[in-house]
């Protein structure tokens, strides 16, 4: 259960434990309020209990709340347990409101349930973590593994500390070997193999189970490692140091007949991939609803332009870059003068405008924007036609801002930006919009790509409503 980091069933025991705590808390809450246990014969209370269990399962599948649970401190556990209980409570209350059944249930019972659940779940998690960690330490052979550590002298102290303080530690560092030829100094409490020629013999003769390589090796040292592999010695490579790159995901792969180590700076977890399916379903539903409002909004904007003397088409398309760098036509209501591209060329001849454009791809006070355009931009109504893009699958409701061709490269952006579909709104759009620099925009978008989840999307929606309502950062 604890070997595959991305397995759907990893930490399933904690989900089961939390669910049991919820059921017990509900029973105790009912018992405190009514001094009886007859809720088991009440269909109404059994139904609401089942609805209370549903968010626990969805929370587990979509948001991975038990990630690094064995490494979390008690303070972190307290905060996350509180978040877990609040989400469950809000979901349950929402269901009661939608089904119009709140009058059937005692508020005190629900109150007692969630208070008990909060403290009981914290206690249960901490207790179960101690059991799991104890079992992990005792798993496998009764004997611990003896390690010989190969590293640089200046890094030894930190590496030793990290190994010795791991929750999973079943390793004993028996000796060290430093690749720095000029620094073979002793380290207190540890044997240091002084010469490369002694390295092979020391490992073989002193019952060393594992050689941990935490730095790059020269050709002759690699030959020693090859001999140790032939002897059946386990070799562990610290990828970041050996290859000089950081990788969040590492796996053994192959290309043709060649065995390879596959390094990925970022990959989506199974939970995130499941979330993308749910997100697409939500996108279709929301975009269908959004398209219903397209016609009346179009009519109002068209009449507004006509009355202002502008008879040109109000819909326009522009090439943007989508998922995996594929171009698509973005739909918007026109907020600029009809010949905006020609006007832009003239504006860029002015030094002040040119510098503004090179810095942020926009102007502080863009003279191309019409009076009607200022209004629809301020209220973000110009984005409504993008529901068509969402329905077509070019975009999502939530995602990074769609960029024009060449924009990412010109701003020294990274391809990580294009790992998800662009959105009508996103983490940048709801966190300042035009009030931040271009570099800050990119960092916000990278953050979303790395951490995209249903929870983050909900936060985007809530913040976007606030931003649009108060016109924060819209220009």
Q: 152 in a domain, yes or no?
A: yes
Please check whether residue 49 lies inside any domain of the structure.
yes
- 405 part of a folded domain: yes
The answer to whether 436 and 445 have CB atoms below 8 angstroms apart is no
- Residue identified by tokens 């469950």 is 88
Residue 36 has pLDDT above 80, yes or no: no
The three-point CA angle 451-456-459 to 5° equals: 155
pLDDT-derived band at 423, boundaries 50, 70, 90: very high
Same domain for 284 and 250:
no
Task: Give the whole-angstrom CA distance, residue 155 versus residue 159.
Answer: 6
Does pLDDT of 183 surpass 60?
no
Mean pLDDT of the chain: 81
- Which residues make Cβ contacts (< 8 Å) with residue 374, sequence separation at least 6? 335
Question: What per-residue confidence (pLDDT) applies to 386?
Answer: 93
Beta strand ranges found along 225-372 (DSSP E): 234-237, 249-255, 258-264, 315-321, 327-333
How far apart are the C-alpha atoms of 357 and 363, rounded to whole Å? 6
Query: Do 244 and 294 fall within a single domain?
Result: no
Residue with more model confidence, 226 or 36: 226
Same domain, 156 and 259: yes
Beta carbons within 10 angstroms of residue 130's beta carbon: 11
* Predicted local confidence at residue 171, as pLDDT: 75
Indicate whether 402 belongs to any domain: yes
CA distance 22 to 110: 11
Q: pLDDT tens across 254-286, in order?
A: 776 777 777 766 667 777 788 888 899 999 999
**Pick from 138, 161, 185: which residue ends a domain?**
138
* 182 pLDDT more than 60: no
The model's pLDDT over 38-52, given as tens digits with 9 standing for 90+, comes to 655 567 777 778 888
Per-residue pLDDT tens digits for 126-149: 888 888 777 765 554 445 678 999
* Within-domain flag for 217: yes
Domain membership of residue 112 (yes or no) is yes
- In the structure, what pLDDT confidence band is assigned to residue 342 with cuts at 50, 70 and 90? confident
Q: What is the per-residue pLDDT for 142?
A: 45
Looking at the structure, tell me whether residues 199 and 296 fall in a common domain.
no
Residues 295 and 398 in one domain: yes
Domain boundary among the residues 113, 138, 163 is at 138
Q: Are residues 285 and 431 in the same domain?
A: yes
pLDDT at 130: 80
163 and 189 share one domain? yes
Q: Is 347 a member of any domain?
A: no
| Residue 357 placed within a domain | no
What is the predicted pLDDT for the residue at 407?
A: 87
Distance CA 232, CA 240 (A): 24
Counting the structural domains of the chain, the total is: 3
């Amino acid at each position: 259960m604890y070997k595959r980091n991305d397995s759907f069933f990893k930490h399933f025991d904690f989900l089961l434990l939390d669910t049991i705590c919820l059921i017990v808390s509900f029973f105790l809450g009912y018992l405190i309020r009514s001094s009886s246990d007859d809720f088991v014969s009440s269909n109404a209370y059994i139904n609401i209990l089942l609805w209370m269990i549903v968010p626990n399962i969805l929370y587990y599948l979509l948001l991975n709340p038990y990630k690094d649970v064995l490494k979390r401190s008690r303070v972190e556990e307290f905060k996350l347990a509180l978040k877990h209980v609040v989400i469950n409570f809000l979901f349950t209350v929402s269901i009661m409101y939608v089904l119009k059944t709140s009058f059937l249930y005692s508020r005190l019972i629900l109150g007692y349930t969630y208070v008990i659940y909060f403290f009981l779940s914290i206690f249960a998690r901490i207790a179960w973590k101690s059991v799991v960690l104890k079992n992990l330490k005792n798993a496998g052979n009764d004997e611990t593994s003896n390690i010989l550590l190969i590293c640089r002298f200046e890094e030894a102290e930190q590496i030793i500390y990290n190994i010795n303080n791991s929750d999973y530690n079943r390793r004993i560092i028996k000796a060290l070997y430093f690749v720095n030829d000029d620094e073979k100094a002793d380290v207190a409490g540890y044997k240091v193999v002084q010469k490369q020629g002694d390295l092979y013999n020391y490992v073989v003769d002193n019952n060393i189970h594992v050689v941990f390589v935490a730095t790059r090796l020269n050709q002759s040292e690699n030959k020693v490692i090859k001999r140790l592999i032939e002897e059946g010695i386990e070799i562990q490579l610290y990828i970041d140091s050996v290859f000089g790159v950081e990788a969040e995901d590492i796996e053994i792969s192959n290309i043709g007949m060649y065995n390879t180590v596959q390094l990925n700076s970022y990959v989506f977890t199974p939970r995130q991939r499941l979330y993308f399916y749910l997100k697409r379903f939500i996108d279709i539903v929301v975009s269908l609803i959004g398209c219903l409002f397209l016609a009346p909004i179009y009519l109002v904007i068209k009449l507004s332009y006509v009355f202002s003397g502008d008879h040109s088409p109000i819909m326009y398309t522009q090439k943007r870059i989508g998922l995996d760098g594929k171009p698509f036509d973005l739909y918007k209501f026109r907020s600029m003068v009809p010949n905006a591209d020609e006007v832009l060329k003239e504006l860029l001849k002015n030094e002040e405008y040119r510098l503004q454009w090179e810095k942020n791809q926009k102007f502080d006070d863009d003279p191309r924007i019409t009076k009607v355009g200022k209004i629809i931009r301020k209220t973000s109504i110009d984005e409504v036609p993008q529901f068509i893009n969402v329905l077509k699958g070019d975009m999502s409701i939530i995602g990074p801002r769609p960029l024009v061709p060449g924009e990412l490269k010109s701003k020294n952006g990274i391809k990580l930006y294009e790992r998800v579909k662009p959105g009508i709104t996103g983490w940048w759009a709801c966190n300042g919009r035009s009030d931040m620099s271009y570099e800050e925009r990119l960092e916000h978008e990278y953050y979303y790509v790395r951490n995209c989840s249903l929870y983050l999307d909900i936060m985007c929606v809530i913040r976007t409503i606030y931003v649009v309502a108060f016109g924060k950062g819209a220009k």
